[in-house]
Structure 1
Amino acid sequence: MAKQSIFGRISTLMKANINAILDQAEDPEKMLDQLVRDYTNNIADAEAAIAETIGNLRLLERDHAEDKQAAAEWGNKALAASRKADELRASGDTVDADKFDALAKVALQRQISAENEVKATAPQLEAQNEVVEKLKAGLNGMKVKLEQLRGKRSELLARQKTAEAQTRVVDAVKSIDVLDPTSELGRFEEKVRRVEARAAGQQELAASSLDAQFESLEDLGELTEVEARLAQLKSGGQPQGQLGQ
């Protein structure tokens, strides 16, 4: 169960899609920092579990080696006892020869027992070695993922700062649009045009008034001449026109 939990944790972390997680984050910086902490803690847990698994593997390897050595030693003892029995039997000492044969049988039984242990632990050793290699590979993958996460953190924070700067620029542009200086200039220009038009109207009015004054002067001159001729008639003289002069 412990091995399965280690595999499950590593598998989940290896399959985690950092981009998808970050896209759902309301505060990317806090989310990234939390992810870094979680990955770091998970790596530490995995390292501890893998170290324990490797320790158990080494114990199993040591027991396996001791069983092999014991099998070899008991085989040598069985062989030595069997040869001693043969020597004694050849010399006519059948009683002692039987004793050494009995010892040889005991040694052979011990050898068989050790060999059975060796055979039993061989598949366990193979499976345990495979587990350890997978755990090491998973741990290395987690460390690579952690480095990717740290790199993604720097990238995303830089993107966030850029986006914030762009937002400030957009807000500034919007505030400028609200107080559009060109529209103010347009209104001021219209005001100037009105003043110019009024001044032109005043000039035109003044010019027409001056013309009227000159016309009244001419009319006045005509009236003066009429009065002069009338006075001349009343005095009994013959009025002289301008043509007569």
Structure 2
Amino acid sequence: MSIFGRIKDIVRANINEIISKAEDPEKALNLYIEDAIEQLRQFKVEVSRFEAERIRIAKEIRTCESMISDWHEKAKLAIREEKEDLARKALEKEQHEQDRLEKLQPQLEQAEKTSAQLKEQLQSLEEKLEEAREKRDDLISRNRLAETQKSLANAVSGLSGDDPLSKFDRMEEKVKAKEAEAEAANVTLQSSLRYEFDELEKQEKKSKVDDALTKLRAELHSESRE
């Protein structure tokens, strides 16, 4: 996959896809970014090499132009000195440099055009890589949050079957049952005591009646003797 496609994939990455394809999404994302950084570094090297070649061609052109001017002046000097053969050789050298210049100029034009395009692509890639870093950080943050929420949900789910707080409710029910039993026992006790006191009162009334009856008999007996 080219660096363009790789960085584009990172920018468009989906958290669910990454999680499903990697045991450790955070590690996978970091490796993905590191890979893209390395490819971008290699791309920068190629851009630098191409720029160096453009500079070399430009330098050769300046050398050719200088040589053309130099050989032209030498040819003029030879003519002034009436040395036609020497002038001819100088002109041949000048023409040779002119031919080289004509070949180098299109190369420089193409190199400048390509260099400009590469620099533009490099800037675009650097921007995309920065965007990918931000996307990576967002995905890692979302993944960590999702893991935390999942762990919390699992913890809550685990407690639901044996919730310590639910034991309070069960104990409260037991206490209420005990209280009800105690209240019932107390009511029974009170009823028993009331029955016993009622019996005592009945015995007391009966005793009074018996005493009254005895007195009444005594009175009747006394009256009959008179």
**What is the TM-score of this pair, normalised by structure 1?**
0.73
Kindly tell me: are residues 211 and 121 of structure 1, through their superposed partners in 2, closer, same or farther at Cα, counting changes over 3 Å?
A: same
Greater C-alpha radius of gyration? 1
Where 2:24 maps in the other structure, the secondary structure is helix
Distance in 1, Cα, partners of 2:31 & 2:76: 67
Q: CA deviation at 1:107?
A: 0.9
Matches within 5 A, 1:83-232: 83-148=73-138, 171-177=163-169, 179=170, 181-225=171-215
Unpaired runs of 5+ residues, structure 2, are: none
**Percent of matched pairs sharing the same residue:** 15
Q: CA deviation at 1:115?
A: 1.8
1:64-101 deviation per Cα after TM superposition (whole angstroms, max 9, x unaligned): 11111111111222222222222222333334323322
1:158-215 deviation per Cα after TM superposition (whole angstroms, max 9, x unaligned): 66666566566662223433x1x22222222222222222222222222222232233
1:16 counterpart (13, 17, 32): 13
Tell me the amino acid that sits aligned with residue 194 of structure 2: E
Tell me the amino acid that sits aligned with residue 63 of structure 1: E
Where 1:129 maps in the other structure, the secondary structure is helix
Q: Is the 8 A contact 1:71 1:112 kept in 2?
A: no
Distance in 2, Cα, partners of 1:123 & 1:84: 36
Distance in 2, Cα, partners of 1:229 & 1:53: 142
Unpaired runs of 5+ residues, structure 1, are: 241-245
**What is the TM-score of this pair, normalised by structure 2?**
0.78
Kindly tell me: are residues 239 and 59 of structure 1, through their superposed partners in 2, closer, same or farther at Cα, counting changes over 3 Å?
A: same
Structural RMSD (CA): 3.4
Tell me the amino acid that sits aligned with residue 14 of structure 1: V
Where 2:225 maps in the other structure, the secondary structure is coil
Whether 1:239 aligns to 2:195 is no
Distance in 1, Cα, partners of 2:118 & 2:19: 40
